Amino acid sequence: MSDPAYLSLEKLRLSYGSTVAVESLDLTIGKGELVALLGPSGCGKTTTMRAIAGLLAPAGGTIRLDGADITRVAANRRQIGLVFQSYALFPHLTVFDNVAFGLRLKGLKGDGLRAKVEAGLASVGLSAYAARKPPELSGGQQQRVALARSMVMEPKVLLLDEPLSNLDARLRLDMRTELQRVQAETGVTMIFVTHDQAEALALADRIVVMREGRIEQIGTPEEIYNSPASRFVADFVGFENIYAIRDGALHGPKGVVPASGDLPPGAVGLAFRPRHVALGSGPLAGIVRGVSFAGGTREYVLEAPFGTVKAEADASLKAYGLGDTVAFDLPVARAARLERD
């Protein structure tokens, strides 16, 4: 990464009238990085993107891009591209003319314009569709046109708001690959917003988890997935069994959890993914209250004295039925340790 502080947000405060949406956000993004803003609805992701784009004036703080303070620079002079859902394509213009639109505004025409548009369409695999109009394209193709339309402007940063949310599962995968390829080929810095942890984990170099207008944790997908710092992040990334540590003991909703192993000093809790639960043997026992087949695995809901436990086992292993009593273990060594609530 050539510039580790290519885009920086410093003590950014964003509000709508008297409603404060983002409190005091500090974030540094490197040139060429692909960063995901991840968090539940209302946590301030879109508001942050709007401020970076220049569509919302900050109530406080500074935004710097490529060495310049752009906090008060107009949106159209920031060299920041947007692929927002609300930025729909022009339905009456061809794909070519949609992609050419911004370039024409900049005064480009003739062969120079044609070459740029063709290269843009080629980069998203849509060269053969130049003469079509958006209503004659699939949702995924339309999204790729929107991506090409932004990319031909050679932005310093490309912002994408929920880029995959309108696509079905198959197209989502294609578009993920497409985004990664475009990013690798052009080296453009990308920030995208999502509330889907799988999307963030699959695409991003770094994930910024947001909660109520603040940053909760920043890390690589591996760090966020394996070592959530707080109960909030653990819950958000699929740790189904989260227990608090109090007075030297692990507590579930209905009582003490007799997990095996020493509790880590300083932690406020432990989080186990369903697959961290060792099923079939161990000092604990639970009654199967739910079972579902998930292809490669079976997922169980167990009723234990300290509360419900979600467990997962390889589908090739012995299957348990509703009402069966199953021995299990919660090995502390497999759990994520939570530093904060």
Ligand X SMILES: Nc1ncnc2c1ncn2[C@@H]1O[C@H](COP(=O)(O)OP(=O)(O)OP(=O)(O)O)[C@@H](O)[C@H]1O
Sequence-distant (6+) residues with CB within 8 A of 300 are: 274, 279, 288, 290, 291, 310, 311, 312, 313, 320, 326
CA 263 to the chain's CA centroid: 31
**Cα-based distances in Å from 45 to 88, 178, 212, 294:** 20, 23, 10, 32
Distance from C-alpha of 100 to C-alpha of 131, rounded to nearest angstrom: 12
Q: Are 199 and 36 in contact (CB under 8 A)?
A: yes
Nearer to ligand X, 20 or 202 (CB): 20
Q: What is the dihedral of CA 312, 313, 315, 321, to 10 degrees?
A: -80
Q: How far is the CB of 1 from ligand X (least distance, A)?
A: 27
* CB of 303 vs ligand X, minimal distance in Å: 34
Contacts of 105 (CB under 8 A, 6+ apart): none
Closest CB 10 distance from ligand X, rounded Å = 19
Give the per-residue contact string, 16-55, with ligand X (x = CB under 6 A; - = no). Answer: x--x-x-----------------x-xxxxxxx--------
What is the closest distance, in whole angstroms, from the C-beta atom of residue 75 to ligand X in the complex?
Answer: 16
C-alpha distances out from residue 94 to 49, 140, 175, 203, 268, Å: 29, 16, 21, 30, 57
Is the Cβ of residue 85 or residue 138 nearer to ligand X in the bound state?
85
Q: How far is the CB of 17 from ligand X (least distance, A)?
A: 7
**Per-residue interface string for the shown chain with ligand X, residues 227-266, x marking contact by CB under 6 A:** ----------------------------------------
- Quick one: tokens of 285? 């026992």
Number of residues in the chain: 341
Which residue's CB is nearer to ligand X, number 191 or number 301?
191
Window 275 to 334, contacts with ligand X (CB under 6 A): none
Between 17 and 107, name the residue whose CB sits nearer to ligand X. Answer: 17
Residues binding ligand X: number (CB under 6 A):
12
The rounded distance, in Å, linking the Cα atoms of 27 and 122 is 34
**Residue 175 Cβ vs ligand X, minimum distance, rounded to whole Å:** 19
Q: How far is the CB of 82 from ligand X (least distance, A)?
A: 14
By CB under 6 A, is residue 56 in contact with ligand X? no
| Nearer to ligand X (CB atom), residue 44 or residue 252 | 44
Give the C-alpha separation, 26 to 38, whole Å. 15
Minimum distance of ligand X from residue 29's CB (angstroms): 18
For strands 241-246 and 249-252, give the pairing: antiparallel
Site string for ligand X, 179-218 (x = CB under 6 A): ----------------x-----------------------
- Contact status, residue 173 vs residue 199, Cβ threshold 8 Å: no
Site string for ligand X, 74-103 (x = CB under 6 A): ------------------------------
In this complex, which beta carbon is closest to ligand X, that of residue 30 or of residue 40?
40
Specify the residue, 161 or 329, whose C-beta has the smaller distance to ligand X: 161
Secondary structure (3-state) at 151: helix
Q: Tell me the chain's radius of gyration from C-alpha atoms.
A: 24
Residues forming contacts to ligand X in the complex (CB under 6 A) are 16, 19, 21, 39, 41-47, 195
